[in-house]
A and B are shown apart, each in its own frame.
Chain A
Amino acid sequence: MGGAGGGNDIQWCFSQVKGAVDDDVAEDIISTVEFNHSGELLATGDKGGRVVIFQQEQENKIQSHSRGEYNVYSTFQSHEPEFDYLKSLEIEEKINKIRWLPQKNAAQFLLSTNDKTIKLWKISERDKRPEGYNLKEEDGRYRDPTTVTTLRVPVFRPMDLMVEASPRRIFANAHTYHINSISINSDYETYLSADDLRINLWHLEITDRSFNIVDIKPANMEELTEVITAAEFHPNSCNTFVYSSSKGTIRLCDMRASALCDRHSKLFEEPEDPSNRSFFSEIISSISDVKFSHSGRYMMTRDYLSVKIWDLNMENRPVETYQVHEYLRSKLCSLYENDCIFDKFECCWNGSDSVVMTGSYNNFFRMFDRNTKRDITLEASRENNKPRTVLKPRKVCASGKRKKDEISVDSLDFNKKILHTAWHPKENIIAVATTNNLYIFQDKVN
């Protein structure tokens, strides 16, 4: 069970790092990270349109001092760059999101999306091949039928494991604006895709049609003041989904109420704190990610400076708020100038919903234990990270005298941002993406 003991009672250890050391290739920038439902597979998408899937090797029963390592299982090119001739715009191949389907048979399925097109991929293993054809040689050349004197039945013989990825469905031409979210329904038959202004509902089997369920595009685009930033289906109620906005609101919608869910069932919004008001208030209230808890009772939102936990039964304020990097509040003007204020950080729950995690700058990431109310800051770095090295907690000094081992706000590297993190659904294993490296950490196993 994941998360027992909370984020601070756990000692996090470095396990692995994937990706080149000095590589500054833009195409390698990791843009999404996602465990599958069992946690055995870990998928990453990058700016170059590739998907890389890692598989956890089976635990070595004899030497169980660590959990299985993740090794490359499959790599494939999911999306290619395209050109929209009508608008003279290039469509980026960057993978915005990956979502796994629950496993139903031997094959694995996932949805991957770029700005415009969603694809359903089937990943299957092949470890046997037929041998002994009558009309073909082993190398595939056809035999002269007149040389065939006896017949035999081909048999399957083992071969080296081959993992194949094939696109099974392509869901295209349904989004005018950039897709920011995909979410699979608990019915495992439908899913939603959300762009800046619209949300569409799809059936996994049907690619030529989708239903528009939310449309916030104003009649006159000059009146546009708010966009959709993220959307997710409820983990248990197949008729319920939420979407967040750039104004810091979350709307919960019930698809049974009407075909077009423009009228929300619930509106979650925290009143603004007047003492903190500035010209940047709206920007920092913009929600960059929304995630339901596994239980379905809570949802978590991430805005620029904080993580908030909402009880679905209470709309007027969150039940918990955690400050990620409050020391940045006095730097908002500079962060606006260099565009960092528009960075979209994601957040995630652990398997038992007791700890939440999100990223920050300087390759720091933060965990908040909801039970003990303690938090910890850790760093994803190749320095001092040997396998099973326990990570040292980090601390940022906001002002005044900097203590030893603390880092001052002015020394933070704002180019090193951790936007994407994922938590194994069952165990204390986390995947943290820096710009172009993937770090895997796990708790210390004695």
Chain B
Amino acid sequence: MFARGLKRKSTEDAEDGDGGVAGVPAAPSYTLQRQSLLDMSLVKLQLCHMLVEPNLCRSVLIANTVRQIQEEMTQDGTWRVVAPQAAGRAPLDRLVSTEILCRSGREQEGEGDGPLPDPAPGQAPRRPQSSPWGLDGSREGRGGFQKSLDHIFETLENKTPGSVEELFSDVDSSYYDLDAVLTGMVGGAPSGPGLPAFAPAAAAPPSSTCRSDLGELEHAVEILVET
């Protein structure tokens, strides 16, 4: 359960030292970013199967990306079963971390294009300096986004993964082109700027363990095989 209004805190990975001030997320750690990327990729693979004709090249590239992440996590030792009691919250934390990744980088504009210090020895995908394809940085935009995100969390608890269109039925459409989003879901074409912010959140009920991420990948690959 993720109650409305609960301030986001980075509660995992004491090693990251990310316990920032409540309500103000610290800069996403490499682990968080990597996990977000993994989630995003798995969703993309599943979206592939909703399309009429999956693009094989795209599916292969995404699957390879997932494998790379999985390999690295295995080497790190972070590829582990999450404790059951945290299972309820961990997946939503991951959704949150993706939101951080997507958030407009208004506060980063002053940094220019200077490289962010990489916290890990491996090369991390850089957090985008700003997200012109996502929301604008306005306060109003963020409020609307939060409301939409909460709606999606509620929906995810209740609905099955198939009803993707319903996830967006009530979301305020002023921040992205709803038609583009739905077209992107059904028709398979890459859609407009608004989709990225929600694609990760539109996942099938997030798996409660990392192992089932692997299960999802295998399932995804099986479907690829049958195509």
Name the CB-closest residue of A to B56.
A196
A221 contacts the other chain (Cβ, under 8 Å)? yes
Q: A90-B52, A340-B190 are in contact. Are A279 and B222 (CB under 8 A)?
A: no
> Interface readout for A340-378 with B: 1 if CB under 8 Å, 0 if not?
101100000000000000000000000000000000000
Which of A196, A225, A415 touches B192 (beta carbons < 8 Å)? Answer: A415
Residues 375 to 409 of chain A near chain B (Cβ within 8 Å): 398-400, 409
A169 contacts the other chain (Cβ, under 8 Å)? no
Does the CB pair A414–B65 fall under 8 Å?
Answer: no
Residues 198 to 227 of chain B near chain A (Cβ within 8 Å): 199-200, 218, 221-222, 224-225, 227
Does the CB pair B129–A330 fall under 8 Å?
Answer: yes
Q: A277-B123, A414-B193 are in contact. Are A286 and B37 (CB under 8 A)?
A: no
Name the CB-closest residue of A to B222.
A222
Q: Give min CB distance, B2 to chain A, whole Å.
A: 22
B131 contacts the other chain (Cβ, under 8 Å)? yes
A177–B60 alpha-carbon span in the complex (Å)? 13
How many A-B residue pairs have C-beta atoms within 8 angstroms? Tell me. Answer: 124
Which chain A positions have C-beta within 8 A of B57?
A: 196, 227, 229, 246, 286, 342
Name the CB-closest residue of A to B225.
A221
Does the CB pair A278–B123 fall under 8 Å?
Answer: yes
Interface size, chain B (Cβ < 8 Å): 49
Which chain A positions have C-beta within 8 A of B58?
A: 339, 342
Q: A221-B225, A222-B221, A340-B190 are in contact. Are A334 and B134 (CB under 8 A)?
A: yes
Does the CB pair A115–B53 fall under 8 Å?
Answer: yes
Name the CB-closest residue of A to B200.
A337
Which chain B positions have C-beta within 8 A of A156?
A: none
Which chain A positions have C-beta within 8 A of B124?
A: 278
A277–B218 alpha-carbon span in the complex (Å)? 26
Does the CB pair A398–B193 fall under 8 Å?
Answer: no
Which of B53, B55, B127, B195 touches A333 (beta carbons < 8 Å)? Answer: B127
A398–B114 alpha-carbon span in the complex (Å)? 11
A339–B55 alpha-carbon span in the complex (Å)? 12
Does the CB pair B133–A338 fall under 8 Å?
Answer: yes
Does the CB pair B190–A338 fall under 8 Å?
Answer: yes
Does the CB pair A337–B132 fall under 8 Å?
Answer: no
A sample of 8 inter-chain contacts (CB < 8 A) reads A246-B57, A280-B65, A280-B125, A333-B125, A337-B195, A338-B196, A342-B58, A410-B129
Q: Which 10 A-B pairs have the closest CB atoms?
A: A399-B113, A339-B190, A337-B196, A221-B225, A410-B132, A334-B128, A196-B56, A399-B112, A338-B196, A333-B125
Known: A224-B60, A337-B195; 10 extra A-B contacts, CB below 8 A, are A92-B53, A178-B56, A222-B221, A225-B60, A225-B64, A330-B128, A333-B33, A334-B196, A339-B44, A414-B193
Interface residues of A, Cβ cutoff 8 Å to B: 87, 89-92, 115, 177-178, 196-197, 221-222, 224-227, 229, 246, 276-280, 282-283, 286, 327, 330-334, 336-340, 342-343, 398-400, 409-412, 414-415
Interface residues of B, Cβ cutoff 8 Å to A: 33-34, 37, 40, 44, 52-53, 55-58, 60-61, 63-65, 68-69, 101-102, 112-114, 123-134, 190-193, 195-196, 199-200, 218, 221-222, 224-225, 227
